[in-house]
Structure 1
Amino acid sequence: MLDDKKSEMYKSGARKGLDNQAIGLLPLLLFMFLDNYFSYLLSFVIGITFCFVCIFLYMFLSKDRIYIFMLLPAAITLVLYSLFLCLKIEPVLLKYSPLITEVLLVTTLTIIGLFRGYIHQRIRHAHMNSFRRTSIRTQLNEFFFVAQIVQNTYTLHLFFVLMYGVITFESHNPGPGIFIVRELNLIIGLLIIGYEHIRLSMMQGSLKKELWLPVLDNKNRVIGCIAQSVSRTARKKYFHPIVRIALLYDGMLYLEKRDSNEYESPDLLDYPFYKYVLFRHTLEDTVKEIETESGFSNNNAPRYLIKYVYENEKVKHLVSLYVLCVRSEEELEQLIQKSGKEGKLWTVKQIEDNLNKGIFSGYFEKEFPYLQNTILLAEQYCVQK
């Protein structure tokens, strides 16, 4: 169940990680557009002023720390263009300013692309918390993705202009040439921005369906959050909290098969009740969610037992283990029916005979010695009021 805090987190995460980097092309598109109606000098002044105003707003006034990295190559392109103003090539600038701008942009993006690995390495080793580092790296990945599209598209456009110029060298009809040189580049830029907007909207829609998990440090403190699907692509890199509830009845443990699509210990026997602690949720919130989903009795709440770290080659989890003691067969049947799976009660002896045989989940095999040695204590927890 999503609460207001989680919805806010979704929006914030989408803004920080997936903002439209193609918007950084707007200063260049503005310059190219104005160059059709005003002098190239006035158009340049307006374009470069708009560019640096955008950089200031994003870098210093944005509370969400959104970085439109495409503004950097746009600014470099305009600065390089200013060098042409010092040369006595006014006829060339009057006629070919848009093409010169495209050539400078493609050259700038090509050079920046050569330093992609170095930039990622610097961010990876920067002194900042992992949440901010992940956010910046996500935005950088978006930038390089958009930069490659812009570079390839405008390179094709320049090649097309060159071929058109060769083919129509002796033509006296300037109409199509004006469109190709001065208008097609604007359309290309707007199409790239529109494409990115649609693509990111689709990605944000899928992110709303994601489970967002808190990331813990070695002192079990929350230092950020990450989507569950992203976390699973980097084995054991992120440390997450989970809640597990052991189900006891008459000195026996009720176990059933985990789903086959479980990331950890699929198709192995385990408790029916376990859940990730979601970002900005507490242990108590998670236990309440399990109670609501599983139909626990109001007068029989799970009791907290221990907290431990479960780690293998795939995951690293901070496990909070609870126990739920059922006193009647009717209540046990209700819980089993609610889970919708087939399982059975296991005695201590049966479990001992089947340990380390690939039958039980890794979590359970680590917890069982503790439960075995404190089973009476767990029973005492159940009768406490």
Structure 2
Amino acid sequence: MDIRKGLNNQAVGLLPLLLLMFLNNFYTYLVSFVIAGVFCVVSCFTFWGLFRGRKYQFMLLPTALTLILYSLFLFLRLEPVLYLHSPLIAEWLLVAVLSVIGFSKRPIIGRVRKSNRPALKRAPLRTALNEFFFVAQIAQNIYTLHLFILLFYMILPENYQHIWVERLLYREAPLFIGLGIIVYEQIRVSMMKHGLAEEKWLPVLDKKGKVIGRIAYSVSLTSQARHYCHPVVRIAVVYDGMLYLVKRGSVQPVSPEALDHPFYGYVLFKQTFEQTVRELLGNSLTKGEAKPHLLVRYPFENERVTQLVSLYVLTLHSEEAFVNYVKTAEGKLWTPRQIEENLQQGLFSEYFEKEYAYLQHTVLLAEQYTAKREQPVEVSAETEPVTVSPTR
């Protein structure tokens, strides 16, 4: 679910209208309109035909509507008005169109959010729409401010008015405003893409655990993204039949400051579970010791997160290896009896409360059985040895 695919400079869609304003300085309004109209049609065909589904350019829509409304002045035969105020009329029509489009933001975004499109295609589309409405609002505000400035200038006494100021306000300012918006948006989009390139990405899973997209790690922490399912790896450390538990961080979204396994983390995009396990353990893996093995994989969901949890178990038998693994953690070993006495008391994390039953009836039970087998059999001194007579 790469939102970078929806990060395009939406302000580029203003170019056909800016071309009309520019050509008005050299050609008649009719020639300028024809050239700008052809350029707009070619642009629409390029983005909505050739690049459909890959690149989105929604600003061409209000630009096309503005040119259509502009053409009405041609049929109304308002040549004197168009001859003097062609750029101003185009600007006024653009502000009117953007004002109407602004009211449609919420229903359009809501319809896309609830659509049956795959999440992989829906996220870039929503990103492009949000960028479009953002640019449209900026263009509407700046051009509206320019129209108010122009109106204020018109009511000034004649001795305060100058020809070069009129030319600047009537013909050049709208063009400079549009170009300024395009440059600003290009810088902004480039900065956003650069920031996202350094962002960590999490895979998004469907109900079957299949990767259907990706999302930025920072975005996944927001409440709006809690319905996205991400894979998580957790590693339980077992030593001498006991579980090693540490306190979770205070900023953890699930069970902050509760007791939990020492190793846990998200599986990043294009990363395997085994790679995540190795990263979590770091350089602690030693030769001769048992490697972590997968115990259970289960879905986890609460009011904050939706995850597919993979629980791995690392069973250690030597004190040296145990100290090597937990040297950077501050925790302690818990016996099964101590854990059972404190379950459902809010002491352990939500994850651990769900996982302990699996640990109790598999790994811990096997450790107890192994410990009993290794205990030496004590022979009482009062017991007489049994003599077996040879069979005749």
| Structure 2 length-normalised TM | 0.87
Which residue is 2:170 aligned to?
181
Deviation at 1:223, TM superposition (A): 1.7
Going from structure 1 to structure 2, the CA distance change for 1:370 and 1:298 (only over 3 Å counts) comes to: same
1-structure distance, mates of 2:41, 2:157: 39
Q: How well do the aligned residues superpose, as a CA RMSD in angstroms?
A: 2.2
2-structure distance, mates of 1:159, 1:102: 12
Deviation at 1:124, TM superposition (A): 2.4
Which residue is 2:140 aligned to?
151
Matched, 1:217 2:234: no
Deviation at 1:63, TM superposition (A): 7.2
1-structure distance, mates of 2:353, 2:82: 75
Matched, 1:319 2:298: no
Which residue is 2:362 aligned to?
374
Which residue is 1:6 aligned to?
none
Which residue is 1:238 aligned to?
228
Percent of matched pairs sharing the same residue: 54
Q: How many residues align?
A: 367
Residue among 350, 359, 364 paired with 2:347: 359
Deviation at 1:127, TM superposition (A): 2.4
Residue among 75, 80, 86 paired with 1:86: 75
Superposed CA offset, 1:155-210 (max 9, x none): 11011111111115576731110011111111111221222222223322332332
4+ runs deviating over 6 angstroms? none
Give the secondary structure class of the aligned counterpart of 1:167: coil
- CA contact 1:20–1:197 (8 Å) conserved in 2: yes
- Larger mean Cα displacement after TM superposition, 229-238 or 274-283: 229-238
| Alignment of structure 1 residues 101-112 onto 2, 5 Å | 101-112=90-101
Which residue is 2:25 aligned to?
36
Going from structure 1 to structure 2, the CA distance change for 1:97 and 1:275 (only over 3 Å counts) comes to: same
Letter in 1 for 2:247: K
- CA contact 1:231–1:237 (8 Å) conserved in 2: no
Which residue is 1:201 aligned to?
190
2-structure distance, mates of 1:378, 1:220: 30
Residue among 350, 354, 374 paired with 2:338: 350
Give the secondary structure class of the aligned counterpart of 1:98: helix
Residue among 71, 78, 96 paired with 2:85: 96
Superposed CA offset, 1:224-276 (max 9, x none): 21122222222631111111111111111111112222222222211121111
- The structure number with the bigger radius of gyration is 2
| Alignment of structure 1 residues 274-285 onto 2, 5 Å | 274-285=264-275
Which residue is 1:333 aligned to?
323
2-structure distance, mates of 1:206, 1:261: 23
| Alignment of structure 1 residues 35-184 onto 2, 5 Å | 35-62=24-51, 65-169=54-158, 173-184=162-173
| Structure 1 length-normalised TM | 0.89
Going from structure 1 to structure 2, the CA distance change for 1:51 and 1:285 (only over 3 Å counts) comes to: farther
1-structure distance, mates of 2:363, 2:49: 58
- CA contact 1:325–1:379 (8 Å) conserved in 2: no
